[in-house]
Copies of this chain bind each other. A is one copy, B any other.
């Protein structure tokens, strides 16, 4: 975790977990590591970790069963990948247009950037 910047730590954790889901590191229906284990992994207090979990519950990505653990819902992976990529795309195009690039120019810029690597 990046403790020095402005993004709340619990949000950073939420994002990391979402990444794991999209990458298929965490598989659908599977039980997630316990809060205690996650605290170790991310080096945070349980309170912070709980918030991250709550957030994921709120977004209907996981369900928590008291005394048992949290589970990934079925069908999340594909949907998450879709919504996240859609958001990234829209935001990116929107921002590029705000600073004066046409759609064509955006496409060219992307091509350049990708080929330059």
Contacts and interface: CB of A to CB of B under 8 A. Distances in A.
A98 to B, nearest CB: 6
A66 B48 CA distance: 13
Contacts of A95: 88
B88 A92 contact: yes
Nearest to A66: B6
How many chain copies does the complex carry? Answer: 4
A110 interface: yes
A96 B3 CA distance: 24
Contacts of A113: 89-90, 93
A95 to B, nearest CB: 5
B107 A114 contact: yes
Interface in A19-70: 19, 22-23, 47, 58, 63-66, 68
